[in-house]
Structure 1
Amino acid sequence: MSDHTRLPLTAAHWGVYRADVTDGKLEALHPFEHDPDPSPIGQGYLDAIDDPVRIKTPAVRKAWLDNRSDGVAARTGRDAFVEVSWETAEKLVAEELNRVREEHGNQAIYGGSYGWSSAGRFHHAQSQLHRFLNCIGGYTRSVNSYSLAAGEVILSHVLGDATAFIHSPQPWQSVSKHTGLIVAFGGMPLRNSQVSSGGTGYHRTREGLRQAKEAGVSFVNVSPIRSDVSSELGATWLAARPGSDVAIMLGLAHEIMSNNWHDNAFLERYTSGFQEFAEYLAGAKDGVAKTAAWAAEIAQIPESEIRLLAKRMSATRTIISISWSLTRQEHGEQPFWMATVLAAMLGQIGLPGGGVAYGYGAANSVGNERFPVRYAALPQLKNPVDDFIPVARISDMLLNPGSEYRFNGERRSYPDIRLVYWAGGNPFHHHQDLTRLSAAWQKPETVVVHDYCWNALAKRADIVLPCTTPLERDDIMITPRDRFVIAMKAVVSPVGEARDDHDILRGLSRELGVEETFTDGKSASEWIKWLYSESRIHALSSGVELPDFDSFLAKGWHETERPKVPEDAFAAFRRDPAGSPLKTPSGKIEITSTSIAAFEDNPVLPHPAWYEPEEWLGRAEKRFPYHLISSQPADKLHSQLDQGRTSRSAKLKGRTPLQIHPADAERSGIADGDCVRVHNRRGACLATAKLDADIMPGVVQMSTGAWLDAVPQKNGTILCRHGNPNTVTRDAGTSELAQGPVAHSCLVAVETYRQDESIEAFEPPVIERQGTRTVSQKV
């Protein structure tokens, strides 16, 4: 067996690899020798590093060049582009930024730039872009995440600090030692635990769950999909209707309260507002007691199962795990809120092996030991612009400038965006109702994009600046969510004329006269050394020792010492609620939120409640009888590396698989392997049917991440030939609290599709040479 440990290291959100390079060509990526469960996702780089969709030169959309003086020409995704020099591209972008700033103000620049870009601490596209935009007067930003915006907002009211509690549940060591039962609402899918923001050198989730099983922990999977909990764990499966989780939790809470199994002492000392919630639970206000029978009818599961589960939870040390996916539905704030209340009723929050976990399996970092270090990051400088939007409201903003919306107790207005600048992400993957986004995308006067490949976003940009991949630049992977610190090496040279984002923005800064402010007089290598040195100081002050920079580079990696007594984020509060209060108005867990209760024209109750969704199986039409779950993919991170071998090998006949129950397939005349059309009023996509008895009847599932391959339809919507489910998902806010995405509240029809459709998602656009064309009004 070959020894790969002398090969240089690189890192990504899905793992650390050693790069095997011959004559400048990447030949293989070998998993990091200290990773017990490496992800195959990184193998996609072997194809993507230099394939036909790699962007090798700056390019400008031909129709934009030809029509700038007369208004924006439609961005169709099928436009031709003109290849230009870096000098010309920099002048064009600088001109547009100056024009928009002078004519409309900096708030007319949208620099949301949402997405996962690099595991490197320095070459993080959003950080670089936001620093740059702040150097020239600021920009309109976005807040929260597509992953769990509703959870982030509601926990800021209930617990005071969402981030700490989401990312620091009971660590796996404590689970194995102390936990008796894990009840997983929305499951704990291992496919999601391949990735972790900031990178990962040690995939721990599978090992942690296996050790828990071996220690005698029992599991319950509350999900319409059996595989949302690994078959190795032998979980009890409660196949509940999508959208019914809060109703089930309320039924459990009613059963616990009716039997006097709840911990009154804990509720009195550590929480506020339980009595008002208890009245709602009993039906004192609306006349509807939230009993196990009531919940069973909504969820379409046996009442006896709810009663039995309540008894089991009350009799043993229990963790309630809530999937991040449950926040991505109508009223997605409620599952996190209700799970917290249910755990508080059991009285085990802050005890070893008990309480609530917001997303075991959602990312590799969830369940890892907490490293009490705040490592250094690239300073963003101050953004003078106050405007922002909830991240998933981009179409609303572009389509309705000046209109009012409500968010987290505030009344705000959407800014009038004239220029969109995007680096390190892809809204044509993340966003819902892509027909609507396509219409909204016509509103800005200019769209500037950094990317390394001709994906759906790059094809819909006006100016495209080619950036490098993580394998083409030096960096460091350093995050408190992983035990390893990695020296990332540039293992291949940049392809074509690609530059890293810092270099791109440095050139623009020079053009705009702010280079010194943007760079702070440092080169990229000096910034990397500064980030490591500052992180080393921060670590030492927290009792974590890192080697000096030169020693670290020489070895290539460092493993930080793990905490001797792993705890969750609630432990200090449990020991001393007065000395370590939560950052809530009461200092306690707010079962009834005083801040939400004070909102003007409050759209929701100030405590958790069940609200019937507009789109779910309880209201399914005959025309659209199936509930679509669009899960995160197992073969890529969102849409990254969809063109690579790992993702392509998971497709069926070139398209995203659609899981459907055999009984549903038979009823609809669908055979295994058929091409099917998934559609509703918002749009359609093609998929390949995969019959699966481990999915609840009435529910279909397909993964996100297929690059959009849009074909206009006669009714004004679009069809994706490749299998992007966001052509059919709904673009609406979870509620006026968080305005998060509601992708999982989606009804569709599924039918066989006989028409032959070629897939063009991985074909680059037509590229023209610049020649003698004048591409700048001022050059």
Structure 2
Amino acid sequence: MRLGPAAHHGESIHRVVTAQHWGRYVVTSVDGRIVSVEPVAGDPEPSSIGYGMVGALEGDVRITRPMVREGWLERGPGPAGGGRGSEPFVEVSWDRALDLVADQLRRVHAESGGAAVYGGSYGWGSAGRFHHPQSQLHRFLAMAGGYTDSVGSYSVAAMEAILPHVIGGAPMSIWSRGPLWSAIAADGELVVCFGGLARKNADINPGGVGRHESAVWQRRCRAAGVRFVNVSPLADDVDPDLNPEWVAIRPGTDAALMLALSCEIVRLGLHDRDFLERWCTGADVLIDHLLGRSDGILRDADWASSICDVEAHTIRSLARRIATCRTVVNASWSIQRQRHGEQTYWAAVALAAVSGSLGRPGGGLAAGLGITQIGVHGMREPIAAFATPGNPVEEQVPVARIADALLHPGTTYDFNGRRRTYPHLRLVYWAGGNPFHHHQDLNRLVRAWQQPETVVVHDSFWNPLCKHADIVLPVATSLERDDLAIGIMDPVLTASPRAVEPPDGVRTDYAVLSGLAARLGFEEAFTEGRDAEAWVRELYERTRTSLRRSAEIELPSFDAFWEMGEIVLPTPPRPVELSFEGLRSGLPLDTPSGRIELFSETIASFGYDDCPGHPTWLEPEEWLGAAGPASGALHLLSNQPRTRLHSQYDHGSHSRGAKVQQREPVRIHPDDAAQRGIADGDVVLLHNDRGRCLAGAVLDDRLRRGVIVLSTGAWYDAERPGGLEVHGNPNVLTADIGSSKLAQGPTSGNTLVWMERFAGRPPVRAFSPPSIRPHAT
């Protein structure tokens, strides 16, 4: 909704409401420069992330001209030999930049086919339905002859792989099956939060947040008498307003605790025998495993106590409460980003099934309750988006295995029951996302990133991805283009007009790809004869038509919607055939047995040594239980930051204001700090055999001893490629190894480091542009 323009004392003042992944804001600009960002009225818990957008569109970090890496321009395409990330860039004209990209796409497709092109966009670039970089790029590459796509996500790869085998349905359907906060407030009694329920995780939502209501609903549940248990190494992983009980578990051991809780419920005779017999398959195998009948190991509270470092009586007490209360077993996404993370979610399903609350009002299983808008609303009506045609290339790479693919083309690997081969990726095309934020073992990624012949990137700022590219095409931010937005499981459809114009020389992703499509001969098919403004209007009209036909919902005209600024859509009823309530009523699940698979013949048939046919505890290679206190090792947790979304706007004022001596803060318990001679505010060195990075120490007793927290998203800033990272990016320390052969997901949750005070103060150059040579003709 546009609230301006207006004029005041000779100044041109504009106010608009914009939609971002972290909420809706009133943006005020003066003479084309954003001067303030404030949450819209009526948002009960607005995110402070939006404040970081003020001033962030300006300065040397903004890219306003196409750039080409000097070595690539001089020598042509080929492996970079260390040049990516270290060589200067040369400014070129738009015509030359687009000609270079088109020529390389044409050449690689002709010589090696579409499988040699990696379409690496990872979303999150914009909340808009049209100006969504991943959709834009994938549509373009599919029409250009195809591309190798990624499969899975860094957020929930293990969950995405295991749950369709266990409870059926699409990988993300679990989000709509779990209980809503309203049902928990009405009928629930206990919410056990494995991995916590951090309020910051409700700040963001892919596509936007109409209103931040998750924390409000949590407090309503507490007021209704619902109790919360925080099973996490961090005391503040659940809002203190909820007065949670803290079970300070050893990181990475949630599956063992879940199995022990299930075992104790069975031993007490409190398990839901009828549900297990009628609506589950493999319950006998699971119970034999829990009670040690199959291998002689009783997986009770005493067994789990030594693994989880939680008192056995605490485990027994919690087991009884779970079995005798209407309980929600809530598994955070974080607890499956680890070795054998699939087992954690499978064990959560088992615990919910054993407890007696699964499929009953206000209880059961939730996957990420409190994250994004999960638990606030059910699924919403579908909204039209920029369509992607079928990809003629079948090859896909698990998203967290991109470094393996670049380093070892032609190598075979296992993935979810299939034997696959990594393609030879010669050209990487990236628009949206930042692999130098979300990938593990960044020193290894830097080496892998030298292998392709050409790396093309769309972005607005000189982040580490751009500094490791060959051709950089500057694009508008979401504040500089018109769009419409709506989040996952959020009913608020928002008009999002541009707040300011993009700088001269900056184009939208759509304009860039349209120009390339013209050079490659399919501009008409790509654009369908529409400019960006016409597409935004078209997507709205398609939504009007589909909602009128499918749900008898009549939306206003586009012009009326644009003036109104938002429409709150009615939410459809939950699909009973996929719900656990429906299962109790006799409606089968979409699994081979039609029931919950506590033992899976399918998974067992894969023969994976790291993912057996029923939930179990498998010891990771790297965890505190193996290191021992004498080693001095600390367990690093690299959770999502509070001051930004992933790495977006790390250069903004809000994120930079939270830095300690210009570096990302690392939380450490005061006792651990004292043992190492570390004071609050010190620059510290974190290191292991994978890498070294600096951070700013923050002493905090709200975490268990032996655990430190360094959030993700600080822009990667190494003194040299593979050298000391000076800004505080934890992914120079995490291991690049798959969760298991089933999911091949990321495993950042199993990271041991050593920490010491650091005397030097190397300059932070994360927000400085690379060296740029004069314009090339």
Normalised by the shorter chain, which TM-score bucket? over 0.9
Partner of 1:631: 639
Partner of 1:434: 442
Partner of 1:176: 185
More moved, 227-236 vs 346-355:
346-355
Q: 1:204 aligns with which of 213, 230, 252?
A: 213
Following superposition, the deviation at residue 168 of structure 1 comes to: 4.6
Following superposition, the deviation at residue 179 of structure 1 comes to: 0.9
- Distance of 1:692 and 1:30 partners within structure 2: 30
Q: 1:85 aligns with which of 93, 105, 109?
A: 93
- Distance of 1:242 and 1:480 partners within structure 2: 29
More moved, 291-300 vs 475-484:
475-484
RMSD: 1.9
Q: Aligned with 2:663: secondary structure?
A: coil
Partner of 2:733: 728
Q: 2:172 aligns with which of 163, 173, 185?
A: 163
- Structure 2 CA distance for partners of 1:71 and 1:328, relative to 1, 3 Å: closer
Matches within 5 A, 1:101-140: 101-140=109-148
Partner of 2:262: 253
- Structure 2 CA distance for partners of 1:544 and 1:34, relative to 1, 3 Å: farther
Following superposition, the deviation at residue 52 of structure 1 comes to: 1.4
Following superposition, the deviation at residue 444 of structure 1 comes to: 0.1
- Structure 2 CA distance for partners of 1:347 and 1:548, relative to 1, 3 Å: farther
Partner of 1:226: 235
Asked if 1:36 corresponds to 2:44, the answer is: yes
- Distance of 1:459 and 1:69 partners within structure 2: 17
- Distance of 2:652 and 2:69 partners within structure 1: 26
Give the residue type in structure 2 aligned to 1:384: P
Matches within 5 A, 1:336-735: 336-363=345-372, 365-479=373-487, 481-540=489-548, 541-561=550-570, 570=579, 573-574=582-583, 576-578=585-587, 581-600=588-607, 603-620=610-627, 622-623=630-631, 625-712=633-720, 717-735=722-740
Partner of 2:755: 750
Partner of 2:9: none
Partner of 1:141: 149
Asked if 1:268 corresponds to 2:273, the answer is: no
Give the residue type in structure 1 aligned to 2:594: G
- 1:335-368 CA distances to partner (integer Å, 9 max, x unpaired)? 11111111011222222110011012322x1112
Q: Aligned with 1:319: secondary structure?
A: strand
Q: 1:278 aligns with which of 250, 262, 287?
A: 287
Following superposition, the deviation at residue 547 of structure 1 comes to: 2.4
Following superposition, the deviation at residue 593 of structure 1 comes to: 1.4
- Distance of 1:747 and 1:771 partners within structure 2: 47
- Distance of 1:107 and 1:298 partners within structure 2: 45
- Distance of 2:209 and 2:297 partners within structure 1: 47
Following superposition, the deviation at residue 400 of structure 1 comes to: 0.3
- 1:521-545 CA distances to partner (integer Å, 9 max, x unpaired)? 2222222122112222333313544
- Distance of 1:70 and 1:453 partners within structure 2: 25
Following superposition, the deviation at residue 514 of structure 1 comes to: 0.8
More moved, 35-44 vs 300-309:
35-44
- Structure 2 CA distance for partners of 1:674 and 1:569, relative to 1, 3 Å: farther
Q: 8 Å contact 1:627–1:699 — kept in the other structure?
A: yes
- Structure 2 CA distance for partners of 1:614 and 1:545, relative to 1, 3 Å: farther
Q: Aligned with 1:191: secondary structure?
A: helix
Percent same amino acid at aligned positions?
47
Query: What's the TM-score once normalised by structure 2's chain length?
Result: 0.96
Give the residue type in structure 2 aligned to 1:734: S
Give the residue type in structure 2 aligned to 1:721: V
Partner of 1:94: 102
More moved, 520-529 vs 605-614:
520-529
- Structure 2 CA distance for partners of 1:23 and 1:667, relative to 1, 3 Å: same
Q: 2:766 aligns with which of 756, 761, 767?
A: 761
Following superposition, the deviation at residue 333 of structure 1 comes to: 0.6
Give the residue type in structure 2 aligned to 1:605: P
Q: 8 Å contact 2:381–2:569 — kept in the other structure?
A: no
Partner of 1:775: none
More moved, 107-116 vs 733-742:
107-116
- Distance of 2:79 and 2:187 partners within structure 1: 65
Following superposition, the deviation at residue 766 of structure 1 comes to: 1.8
Following superposition, the deviation at residue 516 of structure 1 comes to: 1.0
- 1:308-330 CA distances to partner (integer Å, 9 max, x unpaired)? 00111111110011110011111
Give the residue type in structure 2 aligned to 1:596: I
Give the residue type in structure 2 aligned to 1:731: D
Give the residue type in structure 1 aligned to 2:201: N
Q: Aligned with 2:228: secondary structure?
A: strand
- Distance of 1:4 and 1:379 partners within structure 2: 32
Q: How many residues align?
A: 764
More moved, 176-185 vs 613-622:
613-622
Give the residue type in structure 2 aligned to 1:260: G
More moved, 599-608 vs 493-502:
599-608
Following superposition, the deviation at residue 72 of structure 1 comes to: 3.3
- Structure 2 CA distance for partners of 1:235 and 1:362, relative to 1, 3 Å: same
Q: Aligned with 1:719: secondary structure?
A: coil
Q: 8 Å contact 1:582–1:588 — kept in the other structure?
A: yes
Q: 8 Å contact 1:4–1:18 — kept in the other structure?
A: no
Asked if 1:293 corresponds to 2:302, the answer is: yes
- Distance of 2:636 and 2:463 partners within structure 1: 25
Q: Aligned with 1:598: secondary structure?
A: helix
- Structure 2 CA distance for partners of 1:290 and 1:526, relative to 1, 3 Å: same
Q: 8 Å contact 1:349–1:574 — kept in the other structure?
A: no
- Distance of 1:708 and 1:20 partners within structure 2: 31
- 1:32-89 CA distances to partner (integer Å, 9 max, x unpaired)? 1131111111121112112210000111111111122776353342321111111111
- Distance of 1:279 and 1:70 partners within structure 2: 57
More moved, 670-679 vs 562-571:
562-571
Task: List gaps (5 residues or longer) in structure 1.
Answer: 773-779
Q: 8 Å contact 1:466–1:499 — kept in the other structure?
A: yes
Following superposition, the deviation at residue 396 of structure 1 comes to: 0.3
- Distance of 1:241 and 1:572 partners within structure 2: 34
- 1:539-559 CA distances to partner (integer Å, 9 max, x unpaired)? 331354432322111211112
More moved, 223-232 vs 600-609:
600-609
Q: 8 Å contact 1:15–1:201 — kept in the other structure?
A: yes
- Distance of 1:403 and 1:397 partners within structure 2: 8
- Structure 2 CA distance for partners of 1:293 and 1:601, relative to 1, 3 Å: closer
Matches within 5 A, 1:21-32: 21-32=29-40
Query: What's the TM-score once normalised by structure 1's chain length?
Result: 0.95
Following superposition, the deviation at residue 598 of structure 1 comes to: 2.1
Task: List gaps (5 residues or longer) in structure 2.
Answer: 6-13
Q: 8 Å contact 1:433–1:730 — kept in the other structure?
A: yes
Q: 8 Å contact 2:380–2:571 — kept in the other structure?
A: no
- 1:85-113 CA distances to partner (integer Å, 9 max, x unpaired)? 11111100001111111111110000021
- Distance of 2:211 and 2:647 partners within structure 1: 23
- Structure 2 CA distance for partners of 1:95 and 1:666, relative to 1, 3 Å: same
Following superposition, the deviation at residue 191 of structure 1 comes to: 1.1
Partner of 1:154: 162
- 1:617-640 CA distances to partner (integer Å, 9 max, x unpaired)? 011165561110011000000000
- Structure 2 CA distance for partners of 1:172 and 1:568, relative to 1, 3 Å: farther
- Distance of 2:539 and 2:324 partners within structure 1: 49
Give the residue type in structure 2 aligned to 1:425: G
More moved, 595-604 vs 92-101:
595-604
Partner of 2:744: 739
